[in-house]
Amino acid sequence: MKHTFSTPHRAALAACMVAGLVLAPLAQAAGNRGGGHGGGVHAGGGARGNAQVNHSRADVRTNNVRSTSVNNVNVNKNVNVNVSNNRGCCNNGWDNDYHPVATAAAVTATVAVTSAVIGSIVRVPPPGCVPVNYGGYVYQQCGSTWYQPQGGQYVVIAPPY
Amino acid sequence: MTRRLLLLGLLGLSLGAPAAYAQTAPANPVDPASVQALKDMGAQLQALKRFRVTTDLSGERVLADGQKLTHSATATMDVARPDRLRATMRSPRSQRVLYFDGTNATLYTPALKVYSTVELNDSLAGLVEKLENRFGIEVPLADLFVWGTPDAPLDKIESAMNAGQDFIGDELCDHYAFRQGNVDWQIWISTGAKPLPRKVVITNRADEARPQSVSLISWNLKPSFNDAVFRFVPPQGATQAQILAPKTK
């Protein structure tokens, strides 16, 4: 039988993180969910279109993308000044639907303490969340807390706003 | 007499040699023929009325210490000029479909059954520009709708060169390399009857790790889709999400 971490286990972990790391750098908070704590994501069906990606075993360092790492996938967007490229959200191209938790954290860490810890994972977002489309990707927004769908679960990200 | 001729010959050789072997940089770093190739390709792209194009993309992101990670994505686009498009984008975390029927643009995420629609009366170039500037949404292979239009000016290119020829798949292509601002880019254009792009590489020089993207492009110029594919009809149980304008830095 495959062992997975139960939801209570994760909740306890999240509570721990809330208590201990409220003002800690968010990259570090994200780091605390590394090390395999996010197990139990369903792998989904075999067909390519249905298979779900499981990022739970990804090293936390993969989140630490530096700000100069702009992903250029279209020439004209990046070379022609009449096409602005000054948005706060969207240097990831269409291909990289990766939310830079740690990078955004550097900006937002001093601003506000959100009710859920960045990087914590829930199976279902709390009631009252609404889906929003930001930068082309769907998130669940619950007040100042943002959840990013990920492999059938939801991970709390640094709010883009 | 013979000796003098020989001497002259040697002199000629020594004078001629530098010219023959002088692979010094040309006076004009912008090779006009390479820019013309872009123009021809742009004209060809704008002349295509109905096509399916697919791309396989590898992109890079740079971690704090300079280590690079490569990710992959694919997109298939059905296009009917001047103002119809359906793009299916697949990347590790999501599959998304962009529908554009000339009046409305809808972005749908099938796994979540969530869609967002905005009214947009425009051409494909306008769609690309407005999605980007209003909503921070980048369209795959957006360049295909911009090359050959005023939004892709070619007079700002700082360096252009012919880099020889290369095969992309089975197709012989001309390979060109350009520099502009912090971006180096290369393109492989088919030498066949229709000069279409088959590969694009973009290198970001603003980061010393020089992250790069590689897009391989395949064409179907006799596609079988009909116009119904461009209209979004919400599936049962789908919910609508507000689309947020990105915060300006």
> CA of A73: which chain B residue's CA is closest?
B213
Give the pLDDT band (50/70/90) at residue B126: very high
DSSP A65: B
Domain boundaries, chain A: 7-157
> Does A66 contact chain B (CB < 8 Å)?
yes
Question: pLDDT digits over A15-48, tens only?
Answer: 433 333 333 333 333 333 333 333 333 333 334 5
Inspect the interface and report whether the beta carbons of B142 and A134 lie closer than 8 Å.
no
Inspect the interface and report whether the beta carbons of B207 and A55 lie closer than 8 Å.
no
Inspect the interface and report whether the beta carbons of B249 and A88 lie closer than 8 Å.
yes
Question: pLDDT digits over A77-115, tens only?
Answer: 777 644 444 444 556 788 876 655 534 444 444 444 446
d(CA A3, CA B172): 53
> Does A3 contact chain B (CB < 8 Å)?
no
According to the model, what pLDDT value does residue A12 have? 42
- What was the ipTM of the complex prediction? 0.77
Question: pLDDT digits over A112-143, tens only?
Answer: 444 678 878 888 998 889 999 988 889 999 98
Q: pTM here? A: 0.77
According to the model, what pLDDT value does residue A54 have? 73
Percent of chain B with pLDDT over 90: 78
B241 contacts in chain A (CB < 8 Å)? 130-133, 138
Give mean pLDDT, residues B56-74: 94
According to the model, what pLDDT value does residue B22 have? 56
Average pLDDT, rounded, for chain B: 90
Question: pLDDT digits over B22-43, tens only?
Answer: 567 778 899 999 999 999 999 9
Q: Which of B131, B207, B239 sits opposite A131 (nearest CB)?
A: B239
Q: Which of B61, B107, B202 sits opposite A96 (nearest CB)?
A: B61
According to the model, what pLDDT value does residue A57 have? 80
Inspect the interface and report whether the beta carbons of A93 and B185 lie closer than 8 Å.
no
* Of the candidate ranges A47-56, B67-76, B165-174, B198-207, the one whose mean pLDDT is the lowest: A47-56
Torsions phi, psi for A108 (to 5 deg): -95, -10
Inspect the interface and report whether the beta carbons of A75 and B140 lie closer than 8 Å.
no
Give the pLDDT band (50/70/90) at residue A5: very low
Q: Residue written as tokens 């095969």?
A: B167
Pairing of strands A153-157, A121-122: antiparallel
Which residue of B96, B116, B138 to mutate against A (max A Cβ within 10 Å)?
B138
DSSP per-residue string spanning B53-112: EEEEEEEEEEBTTS-EEEEEEEEEEEEETTTEEEEEEEETTEEEEEEE-SSEEEEEETTT
Question: pLDDT digits over B156-196, tens only?
Answer: 899 999 999 999 999 999 999 999 999 999 999 999 899 99
Query: Going from the N-terminus, what domains does chain B have, and what CATH number goes with each?
Result: 35-240 (2.50.20.10)
Residue B225 has pLDDT above 70, yes or no: yes
According to the model, what pLDDT value does residue A56 have? 73
Inspect the interface and report whether the beta carbons of A75 and B114 lie closer than 8 Å.
no
A94 contacts in chain B (CB < 8 Å)? 73, 75, 89, 91, 137-140
